[in-house]
Structure 1
């Protein structure tokens, strides 16, 4: 697969997707948006890939929608069929929309936030499973300053991550916050020096790829993202059913064997 506005590389079990419009602070275009979904789907289909890293070239992670495209964007484009196609028919309809398909990917997605994450850039980070930020990263919702609203489910996502009070602040004021403030409110998992960002993210991805069962990771990711829609009883019922399948899996047998034999795990994902 050849991409025009992003870079896609695979190194062992790690797929790295790098937004590649540095002169425009990796702002989204229709081309880049379509390529991003294709790249995540490509990584999802690759049986050798066990973790996905999303980052940007240059000084920004993603500065949102490209203003030149936003100015001429037809209002109805936001609901265009090309953006709303199902990612996985076995997943909730909630995770089949324009950006919410990130949670439908069975593999963990790590956002390596190297710089500005604003508007849709912040939305993508929120839909990721991990957010590791450079000390140079800055964050802003930006929507209110553009005369827009809390789009693509961010009004649902943001309070669940940072709480209602912080979400109200960030959405209504559109103010910028730095990496340390983002860490303090729980918006990111970790803040590291800029020159250590990719090494830190790759170490996390390597751990997810080699030290834990990819089958377990995929199931637990699904449990975590579906839990907000479930009662406690429903969550327990699902967990009980999944536990039966886990106990029958190759990865469970390997999980016991490598512990007893005191050797590195060799999980198959089955």
Structure 2
């Protein structure tokens, strides 16, 4: 079987392309999860990467779980504890790894983002969509729940009421409604999607790498931290930033009215 994930890097921007278009880039029944985990670990250790774009090949972004693979889980030979372990060792590891990746991640949603595919997009920091993209939190239609953390992720992106509507009905929404609900930050024609995502990434990577990583970590920690704890963490991170050469360069460049030259 060919690799599920294509890893490309141009300058400080890495592009990850899910590349099983004939099956709509599913996350189960293939090597998707270990390949994505390996890519995330690679990015963690590569300080030259300052932004990531995640997209899909073909007409779909990600169709979520492979429905044919679900038959195996329903069989008498597979116990409830086996299924629990499958989730904990599989897609839930991806949820934690991608959500906690310190490099900003842009989801370039080129088509269907269904079930775990929608939740995968919500694990990213920013989402841009092609006009033909569709979105659904469709687990309930298969008699299951969002086992990948979607019940935690989706309300934090679009609010509890709208997340509940999607999760309880299993209905799909188009790109226009996704924009209205702040699920995505912009919608563009399909042929402009990757250029738009790259343009956004280029604006991000103009900034110092340490500041990007610590800013993302602070945003993530602040989701579940008390204000006093968040302020203490902010003070620690700020102390680190003030002592970096890139901070000194940024201040010097501002005062000297010239573009900064970051390391």
Give me the TM-score of the superposition, normalised by structure 2: 0.91
Kindly provide the CA deviation profile for residues 105-162 of structure 1, in whole angstroms up to 9, marking residues without a partner as x. 1111111000000111111100101111111110001100111012222111111111
Q: Pick which of 173-182 and 25-34 moved more.
A: 25-34
Kindly provide the CA deviation profile for residues 38-68 of structure 1, in whole angstroms up to 9, marking residues without a partner as x. 1122122222211111000010000111122
Q: Residue 50 of structure 2 aligns with which residue? A: 50
- Looking at structure 2, the residues matched to 77 and 99 of structure 1 have their Cα atoms a distance apart, in angstroms, of 17
Following TM superposition, by how much is the alpha carbon of 1:244 offset from its aligned partner in structure 2, in angstroms?
A: 1.4
Q: Residue 152 of structure 1 aligns with which residue? A: 148
Q: Residue 251 of structure 1 aligns with which residue? A: 246
- Looking at structure 1, the residues matched to 136 and 99 of structure 2 have their Cα atoms a distance apart, in angstroms, of 22
- Looking at structure 2, the residues matched to 126 and 220 of structure 1 have their Cα atoms a distance apart, in angstroms, of 18
Following TM superposition, by how much is the alpha carbon of 1:267 offset from its aligned partner in structure 2, in angstroms?
A: 2.2
- Looking at structure 1, the residues matched to 251 and 109 of structure 2 have their Cα atoms a distance apart, in angstroms, of 36
Q: Residue 191 of structure 1 aligns with which residue? A: 187
Query: Map of 1:115-154 to 2, 5 A cutoff?
Result: 115-154=111-150
Contact 1:143–1:150 under 8 Å retained in 2: yes
Q: Residue 261 of structure 2 aligns with which residue? A: 266
* RMSD over equivalenced CA pairs, Å: 1.8
Matched, 1:83 2:90: yes
Matched, 1:20 2:19: yes
Kindly provide the CA deviation profile for residues 27-46 of structure 1, in whole angstroms up to 9, marking residues without a partner as x. 12341121111112212222
Contact 2:116–2:150 under 8 Å retained in 1: no
- Looking at structure 1, the residues matched to 102 and 246 of structure 2 have their Cα atoms a distance apart, in angstroms, of 16
C-alpha spacing 1:32/1:266, structure 2 compared with 1 (3 Å): same
Kindly provide the CA deviation profile for residues 155-205 of structure 1, in whole angstroms up to 9, marking residues without a partner as x. 111111111110110000010000110111111111111111000101111
C-alpha spacing 1:255/1:79, structure 2 compared with 1 (3 Å): farther
- Looking at structure 2, the residues matched to 267 and 69 of structure 1 have their Cα atoms a distance apart, in angstroms, of 48
- Looking at structure 2, the residues matched to 53 and 98 of structure 1 have their Cα atoms a distance apart, in angstroms, of 16
Matched, 1:239 2:245: no
* Stretches (4+) displaced over 4 A: none
Matched, 1:171 2:177: no
Aligned residues: 255
Q: Residue 69 of structure 1 aligns with which residue? A: 69
- Looking at structure 2, the residues matched to 255 and 106 of structure 1 have their Cα atoms a distance apart, in angstroms, of 21
Give me the TM-score of the superposition, normalised by structure 1: 0.89
Following TM superposition, by how much is the alpha carbon of 1:78 offset from its aligned partner in structure 2, in angstroms?
A: 4.4
C-alpha spacing 1:121/1:78, structure 2 compared with 1 (3 Å): farther
Contact 2:40–2:97 under 8 Å retained in 1: no
Q: Pick which of 21-30 and 181-190 moved more.
A: 21-30
Structure 1 residue ranges without an equivalent (≥5) = 85-95
Following TM superposition, by how much is the alpha carbon of 1:82 offset from its aligned partner in structure 2, in angstroms?
A: 4.1
